[in-house]
Amino acid sequence: MKKSWIVLIVIAVVVIISYSYVKGVYNKMVLLDENVSASWAQVENVYQRRADLIPNLVATVKGYASHEKETLTQVIEARAKATSVNITPANLNAASIQQFQQAQAGLSSALSKLMVVVERYPELKANQNFLELQAQLEGTENRIAVERKKFNQSAQGYNTYIRFFPKNMFANMFGFEKKAYFEAEKGAEKVPKVEF
């Protein structure tokens, strides 16, 4: 009689301890996972911000440089392509991130071409509206760089957490998978240097 009580108490203690451990680990994984989703949302946000600037920019440039139709069309097309790629946090993986990155890189290079063309139009460069758009565009490129870095940091925090032993076993059990990173550009999508 006494013995079985002790056994029961020991079992109960073990169960409670392991329960609170697993609960802590699980909740932390959820928290970190949410963090990654939130920083992904920020990344999409800043890219969207850039896309939103473009119609205005194109309209302004058109007013001064109407025969640069080809470059302007390229920008519009690249923008359409870039905004068509949307990734929900649920399907964040290396392939989808790369696809997203490629579409955005297309827009970046179209934009930097446009900025080179613009050099030939001194009147445009003196236009107040254009100057403000240019400042906003520069700021947006900075924001993109910052949010991408923050995304990588939160993905790394999450990955490090779920891959540590013994948490990796729980991560496996609960289906927490490793998150992909933003890869550094191969020089193709360097932040367009907008110097005037």
Partner 1 sequence: MKKLKIKVLTIVIFLLSSIIVGAQEIPNPMSPPRLVNDFAGFLSSNETASLEQQLRQFNNETSTQIVIVIVKSLDGADKAMYATELAEKWGIGQKGKDNGLLILVKPNYNNEKGEVFIATGYGLEGVVPDAIAKRIVENEILPNFKQGRNYQGLQAAVNTLMSLTKGEFTADEYRKKTKRQSGRSLFPIFFILFIIIISSIGGGRRGRHHTVGGSLPFWIAMGMMGSGSRGSSGSFGNFSSGGGGFGGFGGGSFGGGGAGGSW
Under rule CB under 8 A, residue 22 binds partner 1: yes
Angle between helices 2-64 and 128-163 (to 10 degrees): 160
Output the smallest distance, CB 6 to partner 1, in A.
17
What span, in angstroms and rounded, lies between the C-alpha atoms of 113 and 74? 9
CB 90 within 8 Å of CB 75:
no
Closer residue to partner 1 in complex, CB, 71/115: 115
What span, in angstroms and rounded, lies between the C-alpha atoms of 103 and 142? 18
CB 40 within 8 Å of CB 152:
no
Binding to partner 1 by CB under 8 A, coded x per residue (else -) over 43-82, reads: ---x------------------------------------
What span, in angstroms and rounded, lies between the C-alpha atoms of 30 and 135? 38
Output the smallest distance, CB 69 to partner 1, in A.
27
Name which position in 135, 185, 188, 190 contacts partner 1 (CB under 8 A). Answer: 135
Q: If DSSP codes are grouped into helix, strand and coil, which group holds residue 177?
A: coil
Binding residue count for partner 1, defined by CB under 8 A: 43
What span, in angstroms and rounded, lies between the C-alpha atoms of 62 and 118? 10
Of 113, 109, 130, 136, the closest CA to residue 57 belongs to 130
Under rule CB under 8 A, residue 132 binds partner 1: yes
What span, in angstroms and rounded, lies between the C-alpha atoms of 24 and 64? 61
Output the smallest distance, CB 73 to partner 1, in A.
26
Output the smallest distance, CB 158 to partner 1, in A.
10
Closer residue to partner 1 in complex, CB, 68/171: 171
What residue ranges bind partner 1 (CB under 8 A)?
11-12, 15-16, 19-24, 26-28, 30-31, 34, 42, 46, 131-133, 135-136, 138-140, 142-147, 149, 152-153, 156-157, 160-161, 164, 173-175
